Structure 1
């Protein structure tokens, strides 16, 4: 896990531009605190920041192989979990290795198979290879989009980086955000290829992008495909468990301390319990961490999303699995700290609108980094196995929009389904955004490529579409969030449920099998039942916890009041100051998350503008 960046320019000599590639590389210093390297040739500059996870002394980058026709240089971020098998295969083909890391295996794989090496990789990765034999740059991203990867075409080449901040460090990069970028921010959709910043593009998941003197070309080497499922219930459950055992075993491999993030929900509990069982075979214990808030467990008040606190379930899992567990307890004052808000926004390069969810995650991962360098998490299990409420919401099942937006609750502006709600956006900005049209057009584009099985019932077809949208749009919001915030501390987060073999298998499992016991995530519950406490097996889905301390809402109102004291702040080109003034004076219960989120999003926007000075074009 690292940070990569680079610059290809066919119209100039980049040797004099070392300070620029150094600045681009330094922008990613938090992703790679253990080392830095630069490769510079006439038309290419590559930068790398290293987080040492495998082969601590032997994995420095950029990694270069000299050939008679030119250098082949690699900058790599991520993990190839099958690198040992690939290494053995490549060795049998005559390749010789000088390290024990997966980076060298990926480079040798490219030398052997070219860009088709992507077809052979199992893992999470974003890497770029400068092939000096043909003066071409090859950029490859993992199938599910776990590792972020962006590029920006220039007049004579391209800029690229793990994060937008690396590209923005180059004077040639645009700092403009158009309405299209703002729509992506406000609509709570992660459209493949979109990067918020004008002129910047995301390397799509499962895609190879090649840059040479003739231009830029993309090739999709993997996408979510429809296939017939022939296994019965017993075999399906057994195969899911077999896959999970193999995936977790692979992802526990590291030369640095590892841990799991444990929420007490089914996903993280299953992953933790399986990891603990495997560690016990080697006479070791898994370290697990969870988040809690001061006074939350003892004074918990059920709300519309959470019926129980997490901590009792966390402790049940930790006890049964015999993990070395620690609760990390945060206070509302910490979460409300403007400096933490600014740090989490800088980590993500844009205002997510998730407020305390990002800030508490930032503080949680900051503390975990003190104890571990690799953490496994349960991300994507809800999208894969059907755990969210919208999978069961009749309105969401009608298929007229993205399921998680079916009731309009994720909009910052006024949703078409709930026109009576007041928006804090200025009328002009809200009209220009036209989120309803944007969401509908994006939805129609998203469902266009879904394949229906011959004879598939209308119900199964509808659930296939809902599953597809979650696995290609919704999950990537959370994957980006987890990667960007964790890597702000040089903490590698691994996501077992994103293994493409598991995704392909479960995606094509009929909905009737995914809910065979009448509950959400039946397959996962059955596959891990033997290692889970009964309390977790019987628990219903609960999202990431949020503070219930009324002091947090009070802090938000106070900070928004301070913002109103600067009436010339550019945020008021987007936010209606008078409506914000009314919201600040309105008392609302802590359980009123919609009102709280409006204040958080306003503060997020203002902080982003302060940090990045974006040029927002409203036409």
Structure 2
């Protein structure tokens, strides 16, 4: 896994802009702590920071390729992993290609040289990369089908600036640190509009998209989208095929030349991945999987259930570890450290945005990944199974299913995600947040594919799946990518394999929930791998601290903002709302409502300070 950056300017020789390109590349150092490179030829410059995973010596970038002669024909800067690179390499060798390295980067580059733009349809993996074709003088920006790896770009008058994260683009003087109303709306609402970035003029390459830039301008096309298809398998065949896919996916994703581990919560999803990885590694004569879980000081003894978390994780983690005998380590975090202003600043710098919603999950993930990175470079995660197989409560709640909005914004979560509680009502009216949310939802539903002749129930549940797979999951993947890559850890997400996503998307709802439970197919396909306690466990999200010390630290930060006349977030807030929240007894505020409002206000203030953002509303 790596960080990439680059600049295409047809009106100049970018050798004269080497310092700027180097600054852009250097911003990606945390994503790629092992090595760096810069390649410039005429109007284009490619930068790369490397986290070495496969072929530690040979996979240096940017990388160029020859084809049938002494002249180089293409160059690449590449981030990610292509899991079928060995099969592609064999096929390319049969076609006459000779390889200098064992890396998947060279396979991707030579696949482009051989098959042109269509090569991307052959890739299985998570990736974001740029290819410069010296023959056509064109640049391609390409992102994986599910958007696991990020890629941003900023069109200019004569080309484009791009990078893995906004910070790489902001290091170029052509890219302004400006945010308009649309950008602020994206921050304030838990809705991620595909392709949109918060900074003015900046865009994100959409999942499954190719952006082509040449002297005629910029063009975009999707090489992959979710499609509605007839499901032809019986229930038993569906269960078997799901298992076969999972076996193949995990087999591909445990390949690494560096230490590998799993992130284990004791939930169904992470336990499946951990158990399968353990099975595969032991069958290959290798050491058993190393697993890591997270908890908070005093959380195990003091845990109380809430609207979304019914049980603590630790007992279930122990059940799986006893069954598969993994080498396990529990990482225990101190809640007080999670509210440290210095840590919040690190989170903001990793995100290039305020850590909206999710609250203490940002710093706890960051600290978890820091500890994991001391032992492993690659981690397997159970992320995205709920979106793929219908695991969230809102998939099974009649109110959420029928609601004319995104299901995670309904009351099924106990109190819907809302970070706007402390913001000035006049500002919210000016931004017309209601219309923004309505338009975003209408757009998402209009995109959802339709299968002719399917029932109204199946059509509605397909829409539910679609908005989760194209909107909600992006917020989770972004969070995991930024927090892991900020400490140089690669996190792989087997449930985002596009073959599994396509297959599950088209399983009829009655079959997908055949036993009346969430993720029925997934449970049935993997029951033999797991302890009964985990196979039957109800969905419980990533743990959130219940320590009042964390809330107190938030209150202290908000009080400090109130006392600072120059705090940049102050004009956006309503002082009366702040006073009302602070007047409530400690521990009485809703963690998914008032506490979330405090999180967003404090995080936004940190971001405005750190990034010197100009708000033009």
Tell me if the contact between 1:303 and 1:591 (Cα under 8 Å) persists in the aligned partners: no
- Aligned residues: CA RMSD: 1.2
Q: Is 1:39–2:39 an aligned residue pair? A: yes
Q: CA separation in 1, counterparts of 2:600 and 2:318?
A: 33
Give the structure 1 partner of residue 365 of structure 2.
361
Q: 2:322 aligns with which of 295, 319, 340?
A: 319
- Please state whether the residue corresponding to 2:61 is helix, strand or coil: coil
Question: Aligned-pair distance for 1:71?
Answer: 3.9
Q: 1:146 aligns with which of 142, 148, 164?
A: 148
Q: CA separation in 2, counterparts of 1:71 and 1:85?
A: 23
Give the structure 1 partner of residue 387 of structure 2.
383
1:260-409 alignment runs, 5 A limit: 260-283=262-285, 284-353=287-356, 354-407=358-411, 409=416
Tell me if the contact between 2:210 and 2:220 (Cα under 8 Å) persists in the aligned partners: yes
Give the structure 2 partner of residue 95 of structure 1.
97
Give the structure 1 partner of residue 419 of structure 2.
412
Question: Aligned-pair distance for 1:276?
Answer: 0.8
Question: Aligned-pair distance for 1:579?
Answer: 2.2
Q: CA separation in 2, counterparts of 1:264 and 1:319?
A: 12
Q: CA separation in 1, counterparts of 2:560 and 2:189?
A: 27
1:21-40 alignment runs, 5 A limit: 21-40=21-40
CA offsets, 1:424-449, max 9 Å, x none? 11122111221111111111111112
Deviation larger for 116-125 or 453-462 = 453-462
CA offsets, 1:454-493, max 9 Å, x none? 2211111110100011011110110111011100011000
Question: Aligned-pair distance for 1:591?
Answer: 6.9
Give the structure 2 partner of residue 74 of structure 1.
76
Give the structure 1 partner of residue 531 of structure 2.
533
Question: Taking structure 1 as reference, are residues 374 and 591 closer, same or farther at Cα in structure 2, changes over 3 Å only?
Answer: farther
Question: Aligned-pair distance for 1:305?
Answer: 1.2
Tell me if the contact between 1:149 and 1:202 (Cα under 8 Å) persists in the aligned partners: yes
Give the structure 1 partner of residue 59 of structure 2.
59
Tell me if the contact between 2:419 and 2:599 (Cα under 8 Å) persists in the aligned partners: no
1:190-269 alignment runs, 5 A limit: 190-269=192-271
Q: CA separation in 2, counterparts of 1:432 and 1:95?
A: 59
Q: 1:426 aligns with which of 420, 424, 427?
A: 424
- Please state whether the residue corresponding to 1:128 is helix, strand or coil: strand
Q: CA separation in 1, counterparts of 2:177 and 2:258?
A: 38
Question: Aligned-pair distance for 1:451?
Answer: 2.3
Q: CA separation in 2, counterparts of 1:202 and 1:426?
A: 29
Tell me if the contact between 2:418 and 2:597 (Cα under 8 Å) persists in the aligned partners: no
Tell me if the contact between 1:59 and 1:103 (Cα under 8 Å) persists in the aligned partners: yes
Deviation larger for 607-616 or 64-73 = 64-73
CA offsets, 1:130-182, max 9 Å, x none? 11111110111100000000000011110000000000000110111111011
Give the structure 2 partner of residue 11 of structure 1.
11
Q: 1:118 aligns with which of 106, 117, 120?
A: 120
Tell me if the contact between 2:381 and 2:492 (Cα under 8 Å) persists in the aligned partners: yes
Question: Aligned-pair distance for 1:560?
Answer: 1.2
Tell me if the contact between 1:355 and 1:604 (Cα under 8 Å) persists in the aligned partners: no
Question: Aligned-pair distance for 1:399?
Answer: 4.5
Q: CA separation in 2, counterparts of 1:451 and 1:117?
A: 25
Give the structure 1 partner of residue 602 of structure 2.
603
- Please state whether the residue corresponding to 1:448 is helix, strand or coil: helix
- Please state whether the residue corresponding to 2:130 is helix, strand or coil: strand
CA offsets, 1:318-339, max 9 Å, x none? 1111110000000111111111
Tell me if the contact between 2:192 and 2:475 (Cα under 8 Å) persists in the aligned partners: yes
Give the structure 2 partner of residue 553 of structure 1.
551
Tell me if the contact between 1:561 and 1:581 (Cα under 8 Å) persists in the aligned partners: no
Question: Aligned-pair distance for 1:567?
Answer: 2.2
Give the structure 1 partner of residue 190 of structure 2.
188
Question: Aligned-pair distance for 1:587?
Answer: 1.5
Tell me if the contact between 2:419 and 2:594 (Cα under 8 Å) persists in the aligned partners: no
Count of equivalent residues: 609
- Please state whether the residue corresponding to 1:395 is helix, strand or coil: helix
Q: CA separation in 2, counterparts of 1:578 and 1:187?
A: 21
TM-score by length of 2: 0.97
Give the structure 1 partner of residue 504 of structure 2.
506
Give the structure 2 partner of residue 417 of structure 1.
none
Give the structure 1 partner of residue 174 of structure 2.
172
Q: CA separation in 2, counterparts of 1:471 and 1:205?
A: 11
Question: Aligned-pair distance for 1:203?
Answer: 0.4
Tell me if the contact between 2:552 and 2:586 (Cα under 8 Å) persists in the aligned partners: no
Q: CA separation in 2, counterparts of 1:393 and 1:605?
A: 33
Question: Taking structure 1 as reference, are residues 615 and 599 closer, same or farther at Cα in structure 2, changes over 3 Å only?
Answer: same
Question: Aligned-pair distance for 1:265?
Answer: 0.6
Deviation larger for 518-527 or 352-361 = 352-361
Question: Aligned-pair distance for 1:411?
Answer: 2.5
Note the residue ranges of structure 2 that are not aligned, 5 or more in a row: none
Q: CA separation in 1, counterparts of 2:544 and 2:252?
A: 32
CA offsets, 1:219-263, max 9 Å, x none? 110000000001111110000000000000000000000000001
Note the residue ranges of structure 1 that are not aligned, 5 or more in a row: 414-422
Give the structure 2 partner of residue 419 of structure 1.
none
Question: Aligned-pair distance for 1:344?
Answer: 1.2
Q: CA separation in 1, counterparts of 2:314 and 2:60?
A: 41
Q: CA separation in 2, counterparts of 1:3 and 1:609?
A: 24
Give the structure 2 partner of residue 612 of structure 1.
611
Q: CA separation in 1, counterparts of 2:581 and 2:194?
A: 35
Q: CA separation in 2, counterparts of 1:491 and 1:575?
A: 36
Tell me if the contact between 1:179 and 1:617 (Cα under 8 Å) persists in the aligned partners: yes
Tell me if the contact between 1:374 and 1:491 (Cα under 8 Å) persists in the aligned partners: yes
- Please state whether the residue corresponding to 2:486 is helix, strand or coil: helix
Segments of 4+ in structure 1 off by > 6 A? none
CA offsets, 1:44-94, max 9 Å, x none? 111000000000000000001246665411000000000000000000000
